[in-house]
Amino acid sequence: MAAHPNSRGTGVRIGVHAGGEDPVGDAVAVGASAVQVFLGPPQSWKGPSFPHPEGAAGLREQAAGLGVDLWVHAPYLINVATTNNKVRIPSRTALVKQIRAAADIAALGLVVHGGQVPEGEDLAAGYANWAKAADAAAEVMVQTGLPVLIENTAGGDNSVARTLDGIKRLWDAVGDRGFGFCLDTCHAWAAGIDLPEAVDRVLAITGRIDLVHCNNSRDEFGSHRDRHANLNEGQIPVADIIETVRRANAPLILETAMEGQPDDIATLQSALSSH
Structure confidence by residue, pLDDT tens digits, 121-139: 999 999 999 999 999 999 9
Across residues 171-198, what is the average pLDDT?
Answer: 97
Q: pLDDT at position 8, please?
A: 39
Q: How far is CA 103 from CA 27, 80, 87, 98, in A?
A: 20, 20, 24, 8
| Structural domain span for residue 149 | 5-273
Whether residue 260 is predicted with pLDDT greater than 90 in this model: the reply is yes
Number of domain units in the chain? 1
Cβ atoms of residues 69 and 13 within 8 Å: yes
| Banded model confidence at residue 9, pLDDT cuts 50, 70, 90 | very low
Rounded to the nearest 5°, which phi and psi values hold at 257? -60, 130
This prediction's pTM: 0.94
Cβ atoms of residues 33 and 7 within 8 Å: yes
Q: Residue 91: which residues within 8 A CB-CB, separation 6 or more?
A: 77, 78, 79, 80, 82, 115, 133
Query: Which CATH number fits the domain that encloses residue 34?
Result: 3.20.20.150
Cβ atoms of residues 189 and 231 within 8 Å: no
Give the DSSP letter of residue 121.
S
